Structure formats: C-alpha cells, structure tokens
Amino acid sequence: MTTLNQRPLGDSGLEIAPLVFGGNVFGWTADEQASFALLDGFVEAGFDAIDTADVYSRWVPDHVGGESETIIGKWLKARGGRDKVKIFTKVGADMGQGRNDLTASWIEKAVEDSLRRLQTDYIDLYQTHWADPLTPQEETLRALDRLVKAGKVRAIGTSNHTAEQVAEALAISEREGLAAYASIQPHYNLYSRDTFEGPLQDLAVEKGLGVITYYSLESGFLTGKYKTVEQIAGTSREHALKDRFDERGVRILAVLDGVAQRNEATSAQTALAWLLAQPGVTAPIVSATSTEQLEDIVKAGALSLSADDVAELTEASAY
C-alpha cells in the first residue's frame, strides 16, 4: 500500500489523503462487484476517504436512495478495518418529502437510516447536502450538535451552501456553543471557477475550513478524452458537456494537455493537481467506474506542479 501525505480537513480532527472517492457511482454506473473492486483499489493506492449521500442513487428508475450507502456498508462489513477509512455522507436532499429537508426531526431519522445502511455506528463527516430555506439554521445545527455529542457523528460539514449561509451557520455555532461546520463541499474545477472562488473561498481560507471539491473534472470534460464537440456528438456526455467547448473551454484543454505532457502526466491528473494547489482546497472528490480510470486518477495524489505550471493553467482558465 502506498503512503500519502495526510491533509487536515479543517479543524474537524480528521486527516485524509489528498483525494476523496465520490460514491455516487455505487449502485448506479458501478454494480456491487465493480464497486468493491474500485473501493479496494482506492484504499490499496493509499487513500482513505469516501464521500456519499443518502440520496444516491434515487434518480435511477426503481431506486429509492441509499443504494450507494448500502454498497459501502456491505464493503465495510466484508473487508473490516472500519477505522482505516473515513466515511462522509450527506443529509437533506429530497428523499420523497418533496423538498430539501434539514429539520431536526428529519435529520434524526435520516442519520439512523444512513448508519444502518453503512453498517457502522458512527459517520466521520456528516454534511448538510442542500440549503433548506424553510428551516432555521439554528434548528439544523442543534440537531447536528446532538449527533456529535452522542458519538454518532465525528464532525459536520456542508455542501452547496453560499458564503453567506456558511458564515451565518458558523456565527450561530459560535454564539450558541454548538458543533460547527468544519468543511464545505463546493462544485469547483479548472473550468468552473466562479462556483467557489470569491466570497466562499475567502471564507474557507479565513476560517480554516476543509474544502472537498465535487465535479473536480467537470463531468469528464477535463480528462482530455474529448478534444472537440464533434467527439461527444451522440454520446451520453453530449448534453452535459457540449456547452463546455466554447473558446475558453478549448483553450483550457489545449493548455492542460501541454502542461500534462511536460509533467509526463495525463490531463485528468494535471487538472486535479491544479485543484490541490489552490488556496483552501483539501482534497478533490474523484470518481471512476473502472479500475483503469481509477489507476489513472489516483496518480494525481502524488503529482506536484511547479508554480509556473499552476500559473499557466490559472491564466488559461481565466474568464
């Protein structure tokens, strides 16, 4: 097993290797057998954090949510070594209630469902998935604080919340003496920069929050697999990626390819290494549906770009 430098996830008390596996594929584009192989390969490569959510993969016909957590739970039971990995999951997405739900009563129910599916008695990082405009943040934070005090959750974080919402939550926790968000999970990568840069990144750096980025490769756009919009015509990627092949997107891909070649790396590895060099970023969330994809991506954890490489990519991806 490879040993990688551990990075502190804010002041959560958790330290993680520099990539997090995104578990949305488990039970969706990766069946149970493939998921086990991916998890085994990820851990064998020296990584130790897995991110999922209760709602994964409710969008698939005949799925109800919880499929990803269930597979991770089966894997944990089969492999043992619960203390060797950190499990991150989320609460608050619509699981049939018809809304994003961060009420205390829902959180109390949802955490028990997640613990049961994951076959564990604690969650390392429990994250509020989406903002719930109908529920005061103080109610949500008091419910999460009770979970931390009960030992069911080690640390709390948030995803898809604005800088203003995160700042308000941190102020409430400080004022009321409650557990505080230690991390945020924004959409962020070399192509989508304004989804994090600005007030949210400034807040993360100022408050020392851990940052785990999702869509770290912009749904495959930054892997370099597709060079032109014509290459994705008629594929499953066409709808998601066709708008990326604007002048800026094509420029990013060209510079990314050049920097990758200079470093004897792939575009995916290079795009992830750029993320790891950004202020505040703890670890990008990455995903794969095959062991071949995984073997490529995990090499990013050991790739260090020069300051010139980072600057060139930053300049190429400017809006």
Scan for tokens 């785990």, then name that residue.
Answer: 212
Scan for tokens 């993680």, then name that residue.
Answer: 16
Structure tokens at 198: 């600005």
Q: Is 258 exposed, middle or buried (0-12, 13-18, 19+ CB in 10 A)?
A: middle
d(CA 293, CA 305): 21
d(CA 249, CA 151): 45
CB neighbourhood size of 281 (10 A): 23
At 2, give phi and psi (nearest 5°).
-75, 145
At 50 the three-state DSSP class reads strand
Q: What is the DSSP string of 257-310?
A: HHHHHHTT--HHHHHHHHHHTSTT--EEEE--SSHHHHHHHHGGGG----HHHH
The DSSP bridge partners found for residue 211 are: 184
At 57 the three-state DSSP class reads coil
56 is annotated as an active-site residue: yes
d(CA 319, CA 313): 12
Q: Give the pairing of strands 15-16 and 7-8.
A: antiparallel
d(CA 76, CA 217): 27
Catalytic pick among 56, 126, 181, 214 = 56
Residues taking part in catalysis = 56
